[in-house]
Amino acid sequence: MTIAITCGEPAGIGPEIAVKAWAALRDKMRMVWIGDPRHLPIGTSYTVIDDPRGSLPADSLPVLAQDYGPAPTPGIADPRLAAGVIHAIETGAALAMAGQIDGICTAPIHKAALVHGAGFAYPGHTEFLAALGGVDRVVMMLACDALRVVPVTIHIAVADVPARLTPDLLAETLRLTHAGLQRDFGLNAPRIAVAGLNPHAGEDGLMGREEITLIRPVLDQLRAEGLDLIGPLPADTMFHAGARQHYDVAVCMYHDQALIPIKTLDFAGGVNVTLGLPFIRTSPDHGTAFDIAGKGIADPASMIAALRMAGQMAAARKV
Ligand SMILES: NC(=O)C1=CN([C@@H]2O[C@H](COP(=O)(O)OP(=O)(O)OC[C@H]3O[C@@H](n4cnc5c(N)ncnc54)[C@H](O)[C@@H]3O)[C@@H](O)[C@H]2O)C=CC1
Ligand SMILES: NCC(=O)COP(=O)(O)O
């Protein structure tokens, strides 16, 4: 099994955590890095390879080399590199879809840098990879040992959430989550908790009506299809340790409702995984960390967890 790491934003911590994670896991799994070797931390031992399916060097980072431009100043995105950052993701996705690698693990991108530098038309990897994979809908799931979460709406303004939260989007997110947990996480009958949108899950309509008009009808429909659904639950009380025992994943209505609990519980161990793609994709749960880039102090734990998860998913699909 071979997992490719895409370089991510060269001015961030992506190259550093890729090298650290590769060093930690090189005895346990096959990994290649896609990017411009000039963006690796100074002194990194690497070997340029052509074929990710061939033999890989044991003691230097295998690199599918691209030519994107000289390394930027740490912490300052260089717009001239934006097209290269995007190309690395495209290369990883293409290799995965061609079966030349078993999955990709994407280092973080700086979304604004890609928009300003290359007119990137997507708010994140998740939406870009859906387009590359030729699928209309995917699900962003973040997972750590203590919790899995899915935001139904992802990278949109909070003000836009109620209008974008449609029965179709909610139903498809729940179905993809159910199928993804079955396929890749060994859960035959995943228990899915669903958050309300409003405080106290609307308190019988006193604090908002989306629970009554939208969420409950969708849950009733999908229960009839056989999904094990709990909710809609008040989001403020569904994440304490006791509550978490009753479900395998929490599906939330918007980005921060889902990501705040998991990043608070386990920032170092969290993994971002895209469900519903025709290939495996994981990522660390954190961003580019410009404030510590180039200092050599970035923690590779989330990247290590993401690579392990990609490897486990790939192994499960081969059984
Ligand atoms: N998958 C992706 O491509 C993701 C990209 N981002 C992007 O990253 C950029 C910065 O986002 P922020 O909200 O500032 O979050 P961030 O995760 O980059 O940083 C938040 C704080 O956590 C620290 N931190 C993050 N990762 C760390 C690590 N491995 N070791 C030690 N400390 C670490 C940072 O130094 C900073 O103090 C944004 O452009 C955002 O869009 C954010 C999340 C995921
Ligand atoms: N906040 C999570 C995040 O930004 C991850 O986005 P993506 O690049 O994995 O789509």
Question: Which strand (E) or helix (H) includes residue 284?
Answer: strand 281-284
Given a cut of 80, is residue 319 above it in pLDDT? no
Res 87: pLDDT? 97
Is the CB of residue 109 below 6 angstroms from any atom belonging to ligand 1? yes
Which pLDDT band holds residue 31 (cuts at 50, 70, 90)?
very high
CATH tag for 138-276 (out of 3.90.1300.10, 3.20.20.80, 3.30.1330.20, 3.40.718.10): 3.40.718.10
User: Given pLDDT bands bounded at 50, 70 and 90, which one contains residue 161?
Assistant: very high
Which of 286, 299, 302, 304 most suits a substitution to test ligand 1, by most atoms within 8 Å of the C-beta? Answer: 286
Give the pLDDT score at 127: 95
- Residue 285: both structure tokens together: 């749960």
The domain ranges of the chain are 1-135+278-319, 138-276
pLDDT 10s digits, 74-122: 999 999 999 999 999 999 999 999 999 999 999 999 999 999 999 999 9
DSSP assignment letter at 295: T
- ipTM exceeding cut-off 0.90 for this assembly: yes
Mean per-residue pLDDT of the chain:
97
Instruction: Give buried/exposed letters for 41-79 (b at 16+ CB in 10 A, else e).
Output: beebebeebeebeeebeeeebbbbbbebbebbebbebbe
The stretch 7-33 carries a mean pLDDT of 98
Contact 39, 69 (CB under 8 A): no
| CA dist list (Å): 14 to 120, 179, 210, 288 | 19, 30, 39, 7
pTM of the shown model:
0.96
Q: In CATH terms, are 1-135+278-319 and 138-276 the same topology?
A: yes
Per-residue pLDDT of 215-244, as tens digits, reads 999 999 999 999 999 999 999 999 999 999
Q: Which residues line ligand 2 (CB under 6 A)?
A: 124-126, 259, 272, 283
Binding residues for substrate, as ranges, are 125-126, 263, 272, 281
Q: In Å, how far from its chain's centre is CA 133?
A: 15
Q: How do strand 191-195 and strand 249-252 relate by DSSP bridges? A: parallel
Amino acid, res. 286: H
User: Alpha carbon of 293 to those of 7, 15, 32, 39, 281: distances in Å?
Assistant: 14, 10, 22, 12, 24
Class for the domain spanning 1-135+278-319: alpha beta
- The protein residue whose alpha carbon is closest to atom 22 in ligand 1 is 289
Q: How many Å apart are CA 253 and CA 268, to the nearest integer?
A: 24
pLDDT band, residue 188 (cuts 50/70/90) = very high
Instruction: Examine residue 232 and say whether the peptide bond preceding it is cis (omega within 30 degrees of 0).
Output: yes
For ligand 2, mutation pick of 128, 141, 155, 257 (most atoms within 8 Å of CB): 155
Q: Would you state the pLDDT for residue 318?
A: 82
